[in-house]
Amino acid sequence: MSTTTVPQGRLMPHLVRWHLGLGELALRLFLLHLLWLLGTLAGGVVLGVLPATAAVFAVLREDRLVQAAEEVGEHRPSRGGLWAQFWTAWRAEFWRAHRLGGALALGWLVLALDRRVLTGTQFGDQLSAALGPLASGVVVVLTVVLMLLSAVMWPLAAHFSDPLPHLLRMGLVLLVRRPSITLAIALLLAAAIWLAQTMPGLVPVFGLALPAWAVTAVLWRSGAMPLSPPASGAPRG
């Protein structure tokens, strides 16, 4: 009898802790989504959405650092509550977030123009006829790469203090050299799109916070954001 009751006795507290942890995470992501909305509105939407996004990833990064410190029995000094953490990061990352967002937006603009040329002009029709599916295939590949890069750049920018060109190169190298991470991020993006379509009620509840948490978790667990990275990156405090 003891061989069956002991595992059950150990399992129940584990399940309780797991459910409590899941509830705390859901509440925190919900509050973080509300803060993202407030941060977006605080900048008049156009000037607020990028620093609000950067602040979300900064808070998630701080949560990971606190969790890592607790796992090894260390104490990480508190940087205040969720409200204070978010708005501190919002102000600190305001201009840097716009530079990063501007670089990514430029990439999307170039791809949109390429697609427009290939599908909406006589020259594009002639080019498509001459190159066949090659031209369209290249645009599709570049679109996927830019989508993946857009997903990983924000958590990398939250963790590393490197200049933007170094961060962009870091993101590209990460996607090329770590195919497991690339595949995981691609699956997360596909899952996020699927969830938004099948359960749209999750969008106003968790918004950006849930996929941001998932991407940050993948990068953190993979070792892509170490506390003491070699040579190329300097983590923030």
What's the residue count for the chain?
A: 237
Out of 18-27, 50-59, 75-84, 203-212, least confident range: 75-84
pTM of the full structure: 0.85
Q: Could you tell me the pLDDT band of residue 136, with boundaries at 50, 70 and 90?
A: confident
DSSP 48: T
Q: Could you tell me the pLDDT band of residue 58, with boundaries at 50, 70 and 90?
A: very high
Name the percent of the chain lying above pLDDT 90. 63
C-alpha distances in Å from residue 167, one per residue of 6, 102, 154, 208 = 50, 14, 10, 22
pLDDT for residue 148: 97
